[in-house]
Amino acid sequence: MNVELQLCSSEDKFIINNIYPLYLHDLSEIWERQTNRYGVFEDNDTRTLTEQNRIFDIWWEHPGVLFPYLIKVNDLPAGLAFVATSPYIPCPPTIDYYLNEFFLLRWYRGKGVGEQVMRQLLEKMPGHWELQTNPTIRNERAQRFWRKTLEACTKGNYTEEMGNHPNEGEMITFRFSI
């Protein structure tokens, strides 16, 4: 399996826009969220996926600060990873990178793709990292994934604690340096 992490160009952002609703669908089970009255996974009155996708424009407006990565496996879209730097991080100023979003399509889960992606990401962007994930029992699979992946990628050199996200509330916070 050829796993590739590539910075997504603005010409290819439509691929991320295609994948994003699937990500929100998966998250709806974890966060216990329903669609709005138009069938879009948003809290507001966003009517279409086109409208929803406009919120992503910011990721291509700040190169060198916001990093929208597309994950490909054997040249097919397999997921996304969004990395933010200051001032777009909800964490302490000692953090260089914040993993804002990370998603693999279900077909690619449990096959080592996520770990390969994280290794590539950390190789491209060494520094002090933070990521957060939902602490509930509904999110046990992701929690296990992050513990296993960070153990492998950092040789166990990471911390895990309960933290607070300004929008999501209490979260499991992982910090590590590469």
What is the C-alpha separation between 169 and 133, in angstroms, rounded?
Answer: 11
Amino acid at 158: Y
pTM for the full model? 0.90
CATH classification for the domain delimited by 3-177, as one of 3.30.70.260, 3.40.630.30, 3.40.50.970, 3.40.190.10:
3.40.630.30
Domain locations in the chain? 3-177
pLDDT per position as a tens digit, 126-175: 999 999 999 989 899 999 999 999 999 999 999 999 987 766 678 999 99
Provide the pLDDT for residue 31. Answer: 65
Contact 105, 19 (CB under 8 A): yes
pLDDT per position as a tens digit, 118-129: 999 999 999 999
What is the C-alpha separation between 38 and 41, in angstroms, rounded?
Answer: 9
The overall average pLDDT reported for the chain is 91
